[in-house]
Amino acid sequence: MHSLLRGVLFAMVAVSATQAQAPSALQSDPKGWVDLLADKTLAKWIRVPMPGVGKLPAGNVSDPSPWMLDSSGEVLICEGGKVGREMFRYGEELGDFVLHAEWRFTKLEGEPAYNSGVFVRTSADGTTWFQGQTTLAGGFLLGSFPVAGKAQRVNLRDKMTENRVKPAGEWNVYEIRAAGKTLALWVNGAVVNEYTECEVPRGFIGLEAEGYRIEFRNLRLKRF
């Protein structure tokens, strides 16, 4: 009886978890998205050092660059290695939008502290930034913006509803929705984090290099 009861409860939990899944915005409405990797020259992308930690001069930097497309032209690779922390910034400033990004870390021996991120509402020079953090400990929002000349940090890791990030080597799907003062992070089927006090109305999107090899694909943007 106890075994049967446990089985029933497990089935109920599984059904509940399935019902909790929400399709991505890209799946729900595939029209009107911009493919950010359509231009295989990556001409709209620019490397920007992160203030205080970056080692590169401002603006585009000649080789060696850690950023490159694979042979298919569909996967953007950041080689990591000894590269300093930097942002690979895209295009023009944006207001309200949803950004779809799929990513995976290259699996390494041991348990390294894999780290990267997907930037939104970020200033051109990187002094103000928000991102969906990409770590195996979970996806969550964090940011940094100046207040009275000093950087103020926001870290919503403790408010992450659950860790939905898959192990290194497997693809994850992120969507970040920026609407007014609200930033929402959707990870592999559910929103896990929301920040409702974003006072930065516009900014750039980008990807982060922070020493670990990471791949991105299906980078799509929809304005609204």
What's the pLDDT tens digit per position in 181-213?
A: 999 999 999 999 999 999 999 999 999 999 899
pLDDT tens per residue, range 104-143: 999 998 878 899 999 999 999 999 999 999 999 999 999 9
What are the tokens at 24? 């991505």
Domains and CATH numbers, the chain: 22-223 (2.60.120.560)
What band does 222 get if pLDDT is binned at 50, 70 and 90? very high
DSSP single-letter state for residue 32: T
Please check whether residue 85 is in contact with residue 53, taking contact to mean a CB–CB distance below 8 angstroms: yes
Beta strands in 57-202 (DSSP E): 67-69, 75-78, 86-94, 97-105, 116-122, 129-135, 138-147, 150-155, 172-179, 182-187, 190-195
* Res 42 pLDDT > 60: yes
Instruction: State the sign of the Cα–Cα–Cα–Cα dihedral 211, 215, 220, 224.
Output: negative
pLDDT at 148: 81
What band does 82 get if pLDDT is binned at 50, 70 and 90? low
Question: How far is 74 from 33, CA to CA, in rounded Å?
Answer: 16
Closest CA to 143 of 96, 194, 97: 194
Instruction: State the sign of the Cα–Cα–Cα–Cα dihedral 23, 122, 45, 65.
Output: negative
Backbone angles phi, psi at 16, to 5 degrees: -60, -45
* Res 29 pLDDT > 90: yes
CA distances from 185 to 74, 102, 134, 147, 221 (A): 23, 13, 11, 24, 14
pLDDT at 20: 67
Alpha helices in the chain (DSSP H): 2-20, 25-28
What's the pTM value of the predicted model, to 2 decimals? 0.86
pLDDT at 218: 98
Q: Which helix (H) or strand (E) holds 215?
A: strand 214-223
Question: How far is 86 from 57, CA to CA, in rounded Å?
Answer: 11
Question: How far is 164 from 203, CA to CA, in rounded Å?
Answer: 27
What are the tokens at 11? 């089935």
